[in-house]
Amino acid sequence: MQPTLAADRLEERLAGIVPEIEIAATAELAREVLALKEERQALILGHNYMEAALFNTVPDITGDSLELCRKAAETDFPVILFCGVRFMAETAKILNPTRTVLLPAEKAGCSLAESITAEDVRQLRRDYPGVPIVAYVNTYADVKAEVDICCTSGNAVRVVESLPGDTVIFLPDEYLARNVARETGRHVILPQKGVLPGSGDTELQKVMIGWGGRCEVHEQFTTDDIASVRRQHPETIILAHPECSPEVCEAVDFSGSTSEMIRFVRETEAPSFLLLTECSMGDNIAAANRDKTMLGLCSVRCPHMNEIRLVDVRNSLRDMRQEITVPEDIRLRALKSVERMLEL
Ligand code: 13P
Ligand code: SF4
């Protein structure tokens, strides 16, 4: 576990990242959170997309969806406070049901999780009997309960390659499906969008059946953005999350999960970097790598991740809200899909 920052180091850590005028108030709020954390015996998990004032102060552990899932599963703290969106907090509850799991926002949804229902998955089972179904963790518990295995952006290729047969159903992110299909040598069909067998690269015998979900943040990046940065800053290394379109992912220098991108920047010598992903992550990388230049082109924030600010974390721990619950029959079925992924 990474040690929580000592209160007297908060100002130093936030310098240049949080506007100077806000630093004293941020540090005060962070101290309140740290005191409440002790009192409640809470483990604070922070997704890489959290705003800089939160990410750089109170979490015990930061990471991508997969890393936070693993930490949530193994903790014996009685309270898990999840600074991320609802599907992530639900996954923590699925894995560790005897803990109190708190989400510091009323909703904190996700356009991918909202793009598919449990009944959609049951219909796909009827349409494609016997075909294994993979669900991205960016889905709600009732959808996870209907599938065979989950995946995250950090292990999607490995999960797909572990499945038997030439056909796999991959839900709900169309772009992630197409990116994983390219890496695993499959052609994609999207029955929901009328893209049927024979319309893709049919030289590839293996098939991936996708869905039409999109991340409302990552679908905004285009190859024109990349071309323009390459023209103006040819020395810049460009990275993209695999929820971006396949054309964008093919045009960048590196594509990977949020933590894989963080590691790539940390370990790569280059004059500057541009991230095509949620823009808070650029600030967080800049805070941790004072010697690296991050291009500040990004103004794309995930509105759902943005619902969670430091003040919401304080309120959540103070009032022990909003507690995440998952009906036990759904939890047990969803657990099988998540555990299969973690066992890989
Ligand atoms: P990671 O699993 O890469 O952290 O991504 C989660 C997510 O929601 C990206 O938009
Ligand atoms: Fe969902 Fe996209 Fe926000 Fe990630 S960035 S939580 S995929 S809407």
How many Cα atoms occupy the beta-carbon half-sphere of 257 within 13 Å?
A: 20
Residue 176 near ligand 1, beta carbon < 6 Å:
no
Nearest CA to ligand 2 atom 1: 110
Is any atom of ligand 2 closer than 6 Å to the C-beta of 215? yes
Rounded to the nearest angstrom, the distance between the alpha carbon of 116 and the centre of ligand 2 is: 14
| CB-ligand 1 contact for 215 (6 Å cutoff) | yes
pLDDT surpassing 70 at residue 198: no
Query: What pLDDT does residue 113 have?
Result: 98
The mean pLDDT of the chain is 92
Question: pTM of the prediction?
Answer: 0.93
Q: What is the pLDDT of residue 8?
A: 55
* 21, pLDDT greater than 90: no
Residue among 112, 136, 143 to mutate when testing ligand 2 (max atoms within 8 A of CB): 112
Segment among 34-43, 190-199, 221-230 with least mean pLDDT: 190-199
Query: Using the 8-state DSSP alphabet, how is residue 323 labeled?
Result: B
Domain 113-215 fold is: Rossmann fold (3.40.50)
State the closest ligand 1 atom to the C-alpha of 112, by its place in the atom list counted from 1. 8
Domain topology for 218-294:
Rossmann fold (3.40.50)
- 308 Cβ inside 6 Å of ligand 2: no
Ligand 1, atom 4: closest residue by C-alpha: 64
- Distance, CA 3 to ligand 1 centroid (Å)? 24
For the Cβ of 108 lying below 6 angstroms from any atom of ligand 2, the answer is no
Percent of the chain at pLDDT above 90? 80
Higher pLDDT, 111 or 15: 111
Q: Is the CB of 62 under 6 A from ligand 1?
A: no
Among protein residues, the one whose CA lies closest to atom 6 of ligand 2 = 110
What ligand 1 atom has the least distance to the C-alpha of 242? 3
E strands present in the chain: 42-47, 61-63, 79-83, 100-102, 133-136, 149-151, 167-171, 186-189, 206-209, 237-240, 254-255, 273-276
Backbone angles phi, psi at 44, to 5 degrees: -105, 120
Span 212-225, average pLDDT:
96
Ligand 1 neighbour 90 (Cβ under 6 A)? no
Q: What is the pLDDT of residue 1?
A: 43
Mean pLDDT of 300-305: 93
Q: What is the pLDDT of residue 308?
A: 97
In the chain, domain spans = 3-108+305-319, 113-215, 218-294
pLDDT tens, position by position, 147-184? 999 999 999 999 999 999 999 999 999 999 999 999 99
Best residue for ligand 2 mutational test, from 90, 116, 217 (most atoms within 8 Å of Cβ): 217
Cis peptide before 172 (omega within 30 of 0): yes
218-294 has the same fold as 3-108+305-319: yes
Tokens of 280: 């808070």
Cβ 64 under 6 angstroms from ligand 1? yes
pLDDT score of 15: 80
For ligand 1, atom 2, the nearest C-alpha belongs to 65
DSSP 94-154: HH-TTSEEE-SSS----TTGGG--HHHHHHHHHHSTT--EEEESSS-HHHHTTSSEEE-TT
The torsion region of residue 190 among left (phi > 0), alpha (psi -120 to 50) and beta comes to: beta
CA-to-CA separations, 87 to 41, 91, 157, in angstroms, rounded: 23, 6, 21
pLDDT digits (tens, 9 = 90+) for 238-283: 999 999 999 999 999 999 999 999 999 999 999 899 999 998 998 8
Amino acid identity at 289: N
173 lines ligand 1 (CB under 6 A): no
**Average pLDDT rounded to a whole number, residues 7-14:** 67
Task: Tell me the per-residue pLDDT of 70-113, one tens digit each, with 9 for 90 and over.
Answer: 999 999 999 999 999 999 999 999 999 999 999 999 999 999 99
Q: Closest Cα to atom 7, ligand 2: which residue?
A: 215
Average pLDDT over residues 217-232: 95
Which residue from 149, 303, 152, 277 is spatially nearest to 220, judged by alpha carbons?
277
Q: Which of the two residues, 297 and 257, has the higher pLDDT score?
A: 257
Q: Contact, 82 vs 69, CB < 8 A? A: no
Segment 229-237 mean pLDDT: 96
What fold, for 3-108+305-319? Rossmann fold (3.40.50)
Q: Is the CB of 138 under 6 A from ligand 2?
A: yes
Query: For position 219, what pLDDT does the model report?
Result: 96
Residue 2 has pLDDT above 50, yes or no: no
Span 126-140, average pLDDT: 97
